[in-house]
Amino acid sequence: MRLRPLRPEDTPALLAYRGNAEVCRFLPFEPMDEAVLAQRLAGDFARTALTGEAQALTLGVESAESGSLIGDVVLFFHSAEHRAGEIGYVFHPEATGRGYASEACSALLDLAFGELGLHRVIARINGGNHASAKLAERLGMRHEASHLSSLRFKGAWADLEIYAILAEEWRLRRS
């Protein structure tokens, strides 16, 4: 797989998964349409580097085999003082189970702990999203907290699971 900036010509591929209600079931956004994607591609998805806190870098995940966009990953830079970040991810259902998410998120964590010098990265996961929790665990992230019925999510109360990994833990895992 290859990580790269998202482009307007990715709209059909993005619609295939970001426009899918089942894919978006546990994500903090509703299924996207072309208008929303156009706005995001011209806005926050256009960022190609993190230059300061409170920014996010979203990168497309391209299959090395087909060259097609199969998902995207995001790195949030929350705090320069605390060197804190967060990762997120969304993939086309046909790309699941092949290791793409693990590989893409590993590359994102390499960026977070390497070039950006972050100290701690978290993943906030809807309590019902067991596949996402398993991915966080495969990445070596530890489950740190369960916030039961703590947020209103798409009209209902939902649990929030917090996973985290520290820079030194990531470096040990990668060596």
Average pLDDT, the chain: 96
pLDDT in tens, 89-103: 999 999 999 999 999
Q: Write down the pLDDT at residue 47.
A: 95
Q: Write down the pLDDT at residue 94.
A: 94
pLDDT in tens, 110-164: 999 999 999 999 999 999 999 999 999 999 999 999 999 999 999 999 999 999 9
Q: Write down the pLDDT at residue 109.
A: 98
**What is the DSSP secondary structure assignment for residue 32, as one 8-state letter?**
P
Beta carbons within 10 angstroms of residue 90's beta carbon: 21
Q: Write down the pLDDT at residue 39.
A: 97
Task: Please tell me the distance from the alpha carbon of residue 108 to that of residue 116, in angstroms, as a whole number.
Answer: 10
